Amino acid sequence: MITGIKITSVEAKRDKDDDMTGLNVNIGVDSATVKGEEAVIAFNYSAIYSEGVGELKMKGTITAKEDPGLLKEITDKWKKEKKLPDRFAEIVLNAINYACGTNGVFVVRPINLSPPIVPPRIELKGKGAQSS
């Protein structure tokens, strides 16, 4: 269960006054550590406005209180593959997407970029569906 999301860094820039033709959202997991009964996930989020119009970048951490079995699975998978278990990754990615998308609205407003509308729920399907 997600117990907290903290955004630690925000950067937004507008490079051109052109109209935006698309938005590419990328979410990456930088690290996953287990401290006691909690998993701490460091993440990065970027929304790149097509045709070089601008960019929004955010970094932060998510904390989640989980059962010991899942915490061990998170530790083992991260050590071996630098990935999160799919069932946990889906929850984490959606939480990041929602937090950064909604807070990003306020960040891009002063530089006149369209808000990074929160896309539909992320669902991981099959092996290797998550990238970091």
Considering its fold, how many domains does the chain have in total? 1
Q: Is residue 120 part of a domain?
A: no
Is the pLDDT at 120 greater than 80? The verdict is no
What is d(CA 23, CA 49) in angstroms, rounded to the nearest whole number?
5
> CA 127 to CA 12: how far, in whole Å?
34
Q: What is the pLDDT of residues 67-96, one digit of tens each?
A: 999 999 999 999 999 999 999 999 999 999
**Confidence category of residue 132, pLDDT binned at 50, 70, 90:** very low
Judge whether 21 lies within some domain.
Answer: yes
Residue 60 covered by a domain? yes
Is residue 129 scored above 80 in pLDDT? no
Give residue 100's domain range.
Answer: 2-111
pLDDT in tens, 6-24: 999 999 999 999 888 889 9
> Does 11 fall in a domain?
yes
